[in-house]
Structure 1
């Protein structure tokens, strides 16, 4: 039997998961990436869609507990049959989130949970989680959106399911403040809070890591140069290996307490090292515009 190559088979992505976990956002982003997207399509009609196109056609199908004919065991059985037949290249994506976060999202939007019309939202979430457990275990890709913003989810979808990955690996170097939460999509995170904090220097407090006096203050630390050199060497060794493995995106994040001084300076300096090493990083400073606040920065070291 001659195997069918992936580029001539219909490409199917089944998108499912917990209500409120981001299925609609994921499908819209997939549509922007060139997929044909259909949401809540009746399960009994799936056979009419799958395997009809033979030219690499990409179709994203969204479904959840509200979809007519939704029975996880039967869906898994059907997917297995398609995989064995070989007519389609099929992947299942499951979007999940913590119960607390899902409950917050439902309360925020004042929506009723489909499985808890006359009961608290938490009851519906618990029932739904039990119902979807087989699909969650079966899924090829699991994305937990508990700590995601909408943009975080969009970026993750782009990285995972872009129809054509960029020829050159995209490298992002960013800064952030731990006090305002870690970036959930970062691949590599480096904590720069071991350095003396410029915030506690009155003449530097309102400046940032983009200002020369702040950089000079950070460079005076006895440990900065040796640590920076080690991180530089590590990244210059890892990035080519990521590229060899076909990784399309690498996000490198440097954090400090408020995200305005140490992380900003280190990110800028590291981006220059990577440029000198042949990469073209994009630099983002998430909390650069945040207010300098002592309660955020913590206690001054004496």
Structure 2
């Protein structure tokens, strides 16, 4: 059984199909919950018989579950509520009939309870089957007039009120000669900056070296470039957070991926950490150049 001294927080997310369950579960995942969606109801109580569970969990249950019945769902809620190792909360996502119809129409999806007919019949049956869970809910959020971003904000407000700066930021240096990394959201070209490669005393060093950083910083364009990058970052990161994003990847590239781009990554990491953001960095070319005997990435990957 789980540790009785520290009950596992379990949020059971339910409601009619189309009301925003996936969005809510994603928000809980970003808040640190482990999620399981559409788990057979009969298996849910047995999940918590396993030892070693410590992370909070989000369980998605609705009429699409394989062995769903209203009675089985309510029995599952009752069983989980009675488990002293758990702190269970039922989150019910409600939505008006008209908006559910519109959402199914916009996505051109058939309703699983009315696969061969109009969505309305399936929606009405869904709402009827979910009614007991709606009455039992600890938290009810009506998503009728909520955007996905608004719903994420509501879920975070209820279940992770102390979570600050939820976005994780990764910053990476790379060489344009070897191609740009995949998955970068914002990319900056540093090839116009003063290049330490041409200084024989610095060529073998990299942008983590203070002397290399000082050399790059002596470029007359560096102060303005640094400030404009920071101004842009300060603008866009809060906007991305407001849209519900949980991760932002920023890349700096130069010719060899060793001096100028590394310098900018090291600089930006310090500035972002001063602003309170969680930042991880990766120097792609330095990582791949690391000796095979080096068992730690601490030289080239840190947070």
TM-score with structure 2 setting the length: 0.50
Corresponding residue of 1:117: 115
1:129-140 to structure 2, matched below 5 A, reads 129-140=127-138
Q: In the TM superposition, what are the counterparts of 1:28-67 in structure 2 within 5 Å?
A: 28-53=26-51, 56-67=54-65
List runs of 5+ in structure 2 lacking aligned partners: 165-303
* RMSD of aligned alpha carbons: 1.9
Give the C-alpha shift of residue 50 in structure 1. Answer: 2.1
CA distance in 2, matches of 1:78, 1:112: 28
Q: 2:162 aligns with which of 142, 162, 165?
A: 165
Summarize deviations over 1:34-61 as a string: whole Å, max 9, x none: 1001111111211221243556421101
| 1:86-112 deviation per Cα after TM superposition (whole angstroms, max 9, x unaligned) | 121111111110000000000000000
Question: 2:132 aligns to what SS in structure 1?
Answer: helix
* Counterpart residue number, 2:267: none
User: Per-residue displacement from partner, 1:204-225 (whole Å, max 9, x unpaired)?
Assistant: xxxxxxxxxxxxxxxxxxxxxx
Moved more, 147-156 or 44-53: 44-53
Distance change in 2, residues 1:91/1:51 (3 Å): farther
TM-superposed deviation, 1:132? 0.9
CA spacing shift, 1:86–1:54, aligned 2, 3 Å: farther
DSSP 3-state at the match of 1:15: strand
Instruction: Give the superposition deviation at 1:83.
Output: 2.4
Asked whether 1:126 is paired with 2:131, we answer no
Q: Measure how far apart 1:79 and its partner are.
A: 2.4
Any runs of at least 4 consecutive aligned residues in structure 1 with deviations exceeding 6 A, and if so which?
A: none
Unpaired segments ≥5 residues, structure 1: 168-302
The CA distance in 1 between the partners of 2:58 and 2:162, in whole Å, is 18
Contact 1:44 1:69 in 2 (8 A): yes
Kindly provide the CA deviation profile for residues 137-162 of structure 1, in whole angstroms up to 9, marking residues without a partner as x: 11111110000011100100110111
2:25 match: 27
Q: Cα offset for 1:10?
A: 1.6
Among 63, 68, 71, the alignment partner of 2:69 is 71
Number of residues of Structure 1 aligned to a counterpart in Structure 2: 162
- Secondary structure (helix, strand or coil) at the match of 1:37 reads strand
CA distance in 2, matches of 1:53, 1:99: 42
